[in-house]
Chains A and B, each alone.
Chain A
């Protein structure tokens, strides 16, 4: 049994210590957002936040997560109460198939937490580890800029439950 803290809650999971976090999130905790893309740390689809940093969950074994806080896209908000980053991606319609998007959003979230007003160049550099095959890049960039603005506003007035729908 191993313990892992995900989205603020401790979970006991019966897995080997070398099991990558991704499989625990998807199979044991039944969370959809982090995706299997390559299992090699080459595409970014599996990205989650661990103690404030973007981490590739497909190559991060459980044994390294002792005492750490894992945040997945589910931990940020919901379709009816979206977090600023989620609202921004809805408002910019920043997806085609959307498979890579959750990972992109988590790295963008980590960036915005440490640098609330990144330049376009900084966003591009930050997202360099991430692949999108549909070619949604222009919208993803716009969504991250929008999220920065929304977070800026959200600091003044707490996030409401508006949704893009």
Chain B
């Protein structure tokens, strides 16, 4: 059943002139294995659990070249370089002799979505263990051939070396099927003290192309005879196309075809700008019947807490009747809908040849996207191949999957011809699935000892993932004449959670009660955005911690430490405070303020604490982050500069969300449709300095880092604004107007 796949791999290899010896001719693909064949517990670590064959992860060719495979997608986080470091380290092979192949349904394991800061934990762990086990296999083979006990052999620079100096390269040692074995549950991993490649800030492998105009993005794909398509989207959710004039559009210069399928309307032209002009003409002549009824954007608090039906569950309960509080306060925090706002709008290329569809996409999940596109086209999944090619940074589920579906639907109408679809800025802003609006209500009591005795937390939220998930998650499939219904929303399960991500306090409160009000109805199109519910929940919890500390005149850092047992959490708090020069009783300069916040992402991933200094202009209400100092513990560090880059970026992006960002809409349409109507942070608001302190934990599991900074950055900023102004702002974003109004109140 793998004949076609193997042929393809052969082509890939013969193209490079290598002799094919290193991969199996039988069942080469772990994802095709019958799960029943996988032995029961203990499971191998990371994504090896689901794709246990070593050759799904590591391939060695006869010429000694090494390829590491991962089903995760590089989104600009830089993990591709980190994975190459991990494989080089555990294989004892030169970094430059390796390459990493990422998400492709024909080549790599199914690692689901690249999300949740899980790439290092899932794929990084799989590659680390697979590489270590491959190295053991190669050493065992060398022991046989050299007649030397394995324990007397060492590995270096892609070769096994005997005490007498005899040497066999990995390319010489590897043979057919040798790596087609299932991973064991544990590996002989290297002692972190001996690491040469891991732990080093190796320059990112993708940056040279990106700064010299090399091919780097799906937008840069130019296939022979490729045509350009543009989609005409409805003016609002659910609008019906009642009239359009394909014939007139088809007469325009360069136009190849107008594709209409129900409410799905697109135009294809030879030239890209011809497609843009044709789209404008097609759009101008199209008439739609609109029926969307969007909620009141200025009243999201009541829309979420009373307007939408909720399914309520108590997700955490802890009781200790002996602890009682005297001083009680309550507060409500809100977050609006917010946009991913990729700088490059969604783009995809698709080609339908001989009944098989190939799609090049910046999707975060090639396998789920393949299943959804296959369902939409009523093709068997095996007839659809989805290849990840980098796009502009996505920060979650944006228009990528929808553009992939658009391209596939249009390409089906033009067999053999590669079709490139590029969304407009306005389409990306209006149609991407947004980060959901949220409401949190908190109530807590303080005891005489200045400790929190009782903690109540309630959160109202939609789900935080409407990723495919089936064709019904794709716009094109929703708009077809025979449409696919949007699937019912489901809350994401704890311990990771969705709207309730980080809703359970990490602090040791004697009494705590946490309720998740899950809102199944989604009046605005939403899905996963970086950190999911953790952004708002951490903003709420950490703002409220400061409100409580203030009530008893406690220092915010001391107050947190007083309630936190987790030693790694305490360490990042101490480190950020020290790096910032945080002093108890400190007072910022006039119109400046200091703020602090902490969280452990998902309560099970990386630890991050951030101290901030802001400046607030009393006249205008403008708040500016002056400096931020972060401390992060992400377990074993692979690339310190890569980790620093992620945290720096999180702080700047979260500052933008927190100070400026809100999706706007009227009764029927999204009205924030470009960078004028959805402003984000520009260079005039960039802080003077951001410092990131890493606490490395050699040999500890990878905890990931992509999302850990979002919540703490927001709360730290809000706390600093409260410190500067003496006013507590609880509704995001903390705009100029809201700050000015608070001053004037």
Q: Which residues of A contact B (CB under 8 A)?
A: 15-16, 19-20, 23, 26-27, 30-33, 35-40, 42-43, 45, 72-74, 77-79, 82, 86, 89-90, 93-102, 105, 124-125, 127-128, 130-139, 141, 163-165
Contacts and interface: CB of A to CB of B under 8 A. Distances in A.
A15 B271 contact: yes
B17 to A, nearest CB: 22
Given A97-B390, A135-B648, A135-B651, A23 B273 contact: yes
A97 B220 contact: no
Given A73-B212, A93-B207, A135-B648, A36 B344 contact: yes
Contacts of A42: 425, 674-676
Given A16-B253, A42-B676, A43-B343, 15 more contacts: A15-B273, A19-B271, A23-B271, A32-B217, A37-B344, A40-B674, A72-B213, A90-B211, A93-B207, A96-B646, A130-B682, A131-B343, A133-B392, A134-B649, A138-B690
A125 B675 CA distance: 18
Contacts of B208: 79, 82, 90, 163-165
Contact of A99 (B222, B276, B343): B343
A79 B209 contact: yes
B528 interface: no
Most buried by A among B206, B273, B395, B648: B273
Interface stretch (B73-81, B570-578, B728-736): B73-81
Contacts of B67: none
A138 B652 contact: yes
12 contacts: A15-B271, A23-B271, A33-B213, A74-B212, A79-B208, A82-B208, A93-B203, A93-B641, A99-B392, A102-B213, A124-B686, A133-B653
A70 to B, nearest CB: 13
B683 A124 contact: yes
Interface in B198-225: 201, 203-204, 206-217, 219-220, 222
Interface in B623-667: 641, 645-646, 648-653, 655-656
Contacts of B276: 39
A26 B222 CA distance: 10
A136 B649 contact: yes
Contact of A26 (B272, B683, B684, B686): B272
Interface string B679-690: 011111011011
Contacts of A38: 345, 425, 674-675
Contacts of A131: 343, 675, 680, 682
Q: Give the interface size class of chain B.
A: 35 or more
B645 A45 contact: no
Interface string B386-419: 0000111101000000000000000000000000
B267 to A, nearest CB: 16
B70 interface: no
B206 A98 contact: yes
A132 B211 contact: no
Secondary structure dominating the interface of B:
loop
Contacts, number: 188
B342 interface: yes
A90 B641 CA distance: 13
Contact of A135 (B203, B214, B653): B653
B240 interface: no
Nearest to B339: A133
B683 A32 contact: no
A161 B337 CA distance: 48
B424 interface: yes
A102 B727 CA distance: 41
A26 B422 CA distance: 13
A164 B201 CA distance: 12
B212 A86 contact: yes
For the complex of A and B, list the 6 residue pairs with the smallest distance between their C-beta atoms, beginning with the closest.
Answer: A97-B76, A135-B652, A97-B393, A33-B213, A98-B210, A135-B649
A48 B655 CA distance: 29
A137 B687 CA distance: 9
Contacts of B648: 135-136, 138-139
Given A20-B273, A43-B675, A127-B683, A164 B343 contact: no
B472 interface: no
A73 B272 contact: no
A132 B682 CA distance: 8
A15 to B, nearest CB: 7
B649 A98 contact: no
